[in-house]
Structure 1
Amino acid sequence: MSKDQRLRKTFISIWKLVYLAPFSACIAFAMTVCTYLVEGVGIGLLIPLLDTSPDHNAFSDVPLLHAYASFFVQLDITNRVQLVALGMLLIALIRGAFVFGRTVSRRHFEITLMGRLEAMAYEKYQRLCLDYINKKDLATFVNMITSFPPNCAVLAGSVVIAMAAVCCVLLYGAFIFSISWQVSVCAIALIGLMFVAINAMTANRLKRTGECVDRTSVEMNQWAIETARAQPVIRGMGREEVAEHKFNELLGRYMEHAKREAVWRGIVEPSLTTGIMAILAILLYALSLSGTSAETFIPQALLFIMVLSRCLPIASQLNEARGTLTARSYMMSVLLDFLSAEEMPQAPTGVQGLEHFDGCLTFKSVTFWYPDRDRPALDNVSFSVPAHQMTAIVGPSGSGKSTLIKLILRLHDPLSGKIYADDACIEDLLPAAWRSHIAYVPQEPTLFNRSIRDNLLFASPGASEEDIEEACRTAYAKEFIDGLPQGYDTVIGENGVQLSGGQKQRLAIARALIRKPKLLIMDEATSNLDSQSEKFIL
């Protein structure tokens, strides 16, 4: 991708971010512009004090400034100072109000944008094909949902403020241009050269180090997630030091890249300040050689100094936005590509509802082939599951039992053939409508780090206390739950770590039963139960 294409893509990406919260962005933009305009008015208040020439013609070449200064001619110096002091106090109060508005509106914009990006990323994740998710690093998706959106929101906030700062720089430029167009042209040329030089020195390095920081952060998070899940295996094999060494290696790389990024971002600020002060010195020296009288030169020079000094914080904000945009462009690009990508495998969809389901399930000539396999997982399979009966599907490992479950749950759709729920083809049904009639218990239960009650209510939020106890009684789980110190309010830890294998399976079965499904799918869900418990449940 060429430099122009990258620049165009960056601007389009920024526009997409701002467009997600346009109202908040406009308010932040307006508040920033008003803040800088009020500061400009504050500088203008000093003109009556600067124009000390006998006939008050220091700004005679600028009609607006001359008319403003002439208003104070009839006042003595004491009254002039008092009036200017009152004006400065009023300007300070107004500026404070606008600064408050700018700070709050910018933060409001960033929070609004962050929330929308996180919601969009989570929604996108929920609708991806499960096989696609399983083939990717979990940390990639975690960062897409929790880490990238806040950083992109701060980036967008910096850009909005920077756009307002650019508008104010143009206004300040027009102001000094009205005083002396020759000096203004020189100032613009010198400042332009300075920015080009600083950008050439730091832009590529900031982009590379920022991308390395983001990539290493994802790798580090991925390793932390993997080792957190695998703690029993790591400790059982005595590999704690190996895991720590790998994490510390990734952490060291992250810190090294982050420090390099900090160095290159830190270089810009002093370079910018020194450059502007050097330009100011050159301009003052040029003004002194212009042959202008001291009565005119000194007020104009002081006004130039004040205007350019006000440009320093504005230039700093522009630099902050440029540095953030350069360093975080990779993160922004990855997130927006993820949100807008249409070619990613999507979860199956449908259009019809299913108000009634009696429980009969029929496979008719179903064939399914995984994309990365050299033979079909299911080939022309036909059978029926009668309603209100228990049906067992048996077969050796790899014969397609798990694939059947995935097709019933509509995690995939058949390549050929049809699956019918009573008389309705499930491919035509809305996944949510179809899944509302079924419940699934996997061999390895997935439980949440919440209380037992919360885990049960996740399947049916409106279930009553009687429904909870009935489901637990049927799943042979009520006895061990009642024996816990806090009963149903016991927090069971990450994936039910505080429960035994059999207890986790019974809780998972109870969670499925509380839905009162028409079709209950159990994938070896009693493998960890003793024969008495299994007989009681089945």
Structure 2
Amino acid sequence: MVIVAGTTSYSAYIIKDVVNEVFDKKNLSMAWVVAAIILGVFVIKGIAGFGQEVLLNRIGNNIIARYQSRVYSHMLRLGIGFYNDNRSAYLVSQIGQNIAGIKNLLNTMITVVARDFLTLVGLICVMIWQDPAMTIGSLVVLPPAAYVISRYVKRMKKLSRQEVDLNARVNSAMVESAQGIAVLKAFTMEQQMQVKVDALVRSAEKQANTIALVNARTRPLTETLGGIAIAGSVAFGGWRVIELGANQGALLSFLVAAMLAYDPARRLASFRVQFEKSLVNARMLYELLDTKPRQSDLPDARDIEVTQADIVLDKVAFSYKPGENILDSISIHAKAGKTTALVGPSGGGKTTIINLIQRFYDPVSGSITVDGQDIARITVASLRNNIAYVSQQPVLFEGTVRENIAFGRPGASDAEIEEAARLAQAHDFITALPGGYDTAVGEMGANFSGGQRQRLSIARAILRNAPILLLDEATSALDNESEKLVQKALDTLMQGRTTLVVAHRLSTIRNADLIVVIDKGQVVEHGTHGTLMRKRNGLYSRLHNIGADDGEMIDDTRMEAHG
């Protein structure tokens, strides 16, 4: 950048010698010397410009890579609550825009503040060297330009934040439409979604045009003031040459320097508006980076030591919103190596208990212990390393079948992965795939049926070989044939492990060592299937009898339908 600025300034400076030595004195040999110098200057400028462009792009790309890695690392540390409060597609789109904005911010600072500033300083030095008085006169236009531009800065902050939000909403709507394309088509929602996205696109376009207008408003001012400065210099300089006999070469060198200085001066004048636009992106990104994880390790937290995997919830209360308790002083003892089933009407807090045991959230009051160790005082990573989790909606990540199973225990051998698949009743369908275990799963496992995805999820849990197993409606969305295969895999997985299972299927519930009935955030009954069925007016007995025909427990909606 220094070389580019220096060669630009020297190009203006040498004009004096061209006029005085070549044209006035008609010195042909000097013409060749000056021509060679000019050629050399432009060659050096071209090489320096090439190096500058390559360097700036590398710096920009490195900035993007580092921020992407940093943001992703931070997002992995944030709790489940953060993602419940933010739509994923919107969040990712906003992050992408803000990282690009930071790249533009730093590139702009480097090119405008460094290159243009150095170039402008060099050219002003040439102007001062040739004619100090005219230099001062030409610079009087700068204060008015700076004043007017400063008035646009405040508005640009608000407009830029709104633009990021609108673009994120457009991208979010498109991503969600692609992810839910089957439902969208099944309900013939194409026209409805088209209208929605078109409205967002028009709003984003309008916002972008408004920002472009604010940016462009500085152009007439800077062009006019620049024209006044150069026109005044031509008129005043011409008068001095004609009437006072001033040096023609010095005047022409001054005018060339002034005209070359115009572009960097204009860019510097409008830099603050562009700077504020990019600064908004940086602020929004750092708002995310400054978000503190709600479930972080205490300074004195230690790794958990699991010997039996005995789990106790003691008077646990929890609410997602202040004053709206989901759990109200719940106490549960899930004995080591036994299966505890959580049943009851929907919305009672069963899944919340599963989430609390994994420290996706922390209780408002009460405690949760594993082998007598309060999980709030142990490291989150060590706790979760001792838990295998199978949810109602299994998640498969980008990669192969083998890689997805291996998420259960990174570093597992191929033999261990295949054994886990066999125990999960998944090996046969995997080997029938075109690529076997190396078959790509597709986006969110779209290439597999619900039962196949669930069995892969169970294989992942088997491979983890954790002493604690949490099952959240692991078979509720499956057909009978798939359920039989998955249930067989679950039976294998549950052996010898402390298991908490949320389920509606009676076949799963009946075999539990302990059944805990939860209603409106409280434990209303607990015991084995036999003891609870003897309480004929009990909630469990009523739920069981209403759902016995189809093999399921029921929720509160079906219960109301039965009077």
TM interval, short-chain normalised: 0.7 to 0.9
Match of 2:84 among 130, 134, 144: 134
- 1:478-513: CA deviation from partner (whole Å, max 9, x where unpaired): 222223333223333322223222222111111111
Looking at structure 2, the residues matched to 362 and 492 of structure 1 have their Cα atoms a distance apart, in angstroms, of 35
Counterpart AA for 1:136: N
Equivalences for residues 521-536 of structure 1 within 5 A: 521-527=470-476, 528=478, 530=480, 532-536=484-488
User: Residue 208 of structure 2 is aligned with which of 245, 258, 261?
Assistant: 258
Correspondent of 1:481 among 423, 430, 433: 430
Q: Does 2:153 align with 1:184? A: no
**The residue matched to 2:343 in structure 1 has which SS?**
coil
Out of 488, 494, 497, which is 2:443 matched to?
Answer: 494
Per-residue CA deviation, residues 184-212 of structure 1 (Å, 9 max, x unaligned), is 22111124334544665x65665555444
CA–CA separation in structure 2 for the residues paired with 1:80 and 1:270 = 42
The answer to whether the 8 A contact 1:152-1:331 is kept is yes
| Matches of 1:186 and 1:215, distance apart in 2 | 45
- Deviation readout 1:363-411 (Å, 9 max, x if unpaired): 2524222141535333343343333333333333333221221111111
- Is 1:82 matched with 2:8? no
TM-score (structure 2 length as normaliser): 0.78
Q: Match of 1:11? A: none
* Cα separation, 1, equivalents of 2:395 and 2:84: 15
Residue 302 of structure 1: CA displacement? 0.4
Report if aligned partners of 1:348, 1:411 keep a CA contact under 8 Å in 2: no
Matches within 5 A, 1:319-468: 321-341=271-291, 344=292, 346-350=294-298, 351-354=300-303, 356-372=305-321, 374-468=323-417
2:506 corresponds in structure 1 to none
- Between the aligned partners of 2:436 and 2:120, the Cα distance in structure 1 is 66
Matched, 1:287 2:287: no
Q: Is the 8 A contact 2:388 2:470 kept in 1?
A: yes
Letter in 2 for 1:34: I
Please state how far the C-alpha of 1:114 moved relative to its aligned partner: 1.8
For 2:154 and 2:348, locate their aligned partners in 1 and report how far apart those are by CA, in whole Å: 54
Aligned pair partner of 2:250 in 275, 286, 300: 300
2:510 is equivalent to residue 510 of structure 1 = no
Distance 2:125 2:399 in 1: 62
1:411 match: secondary structure:
coil
1:83 is displaced (CA, Å) by 2.1
For residues 315 and 76 of structure 2, the distance between their equivalents in structure 1, rounded to whole angstroms, comes to 26
* Closer/same/farther in 2, CA of residues 279 and 340 from structure 1, 3 Å limit: same
Q: Which amino acid aligns with 1:533?
A: L
Distance 1:206 1:534, change over 3 A: closer
Q: How many Å separate the matches in 1 of 2:278 and 2:70? A: 19
SS in 2 for 1:360: coil
Tell me by how many angstroms 1:322 deviates.
3.7
CA contact (8 A) 1:122 1:145 kept: no
Match for 1:286: what amino acid? F
What are the superposed Cα offsets for residues 167-188 of structure 1, whole Å, 9 maximum, x if unpaired?
4423432432343332222111
TM-score (norm 1): 0.81
1:226 corresponds to 2:176: yes
Shift of residue 534 of structure 1? 4.4
Q: 2 CA distance for matches of 1:371 and 1:198?
A: 47
The number of residues matched between the two structures is 485
Partner amino acid for 2:485?
S
Unpaired runs of 5+ residues, structure 1, are 1-31, 57-72
2:11 to 16, 20, 42: 42
Separation in 2, partners of 1:470, 1:146: 41
Within 2, Cα distance between the matches of 1:359 and 1:135? Answer: 36
Change (3 A) 1:290 1:532: closer
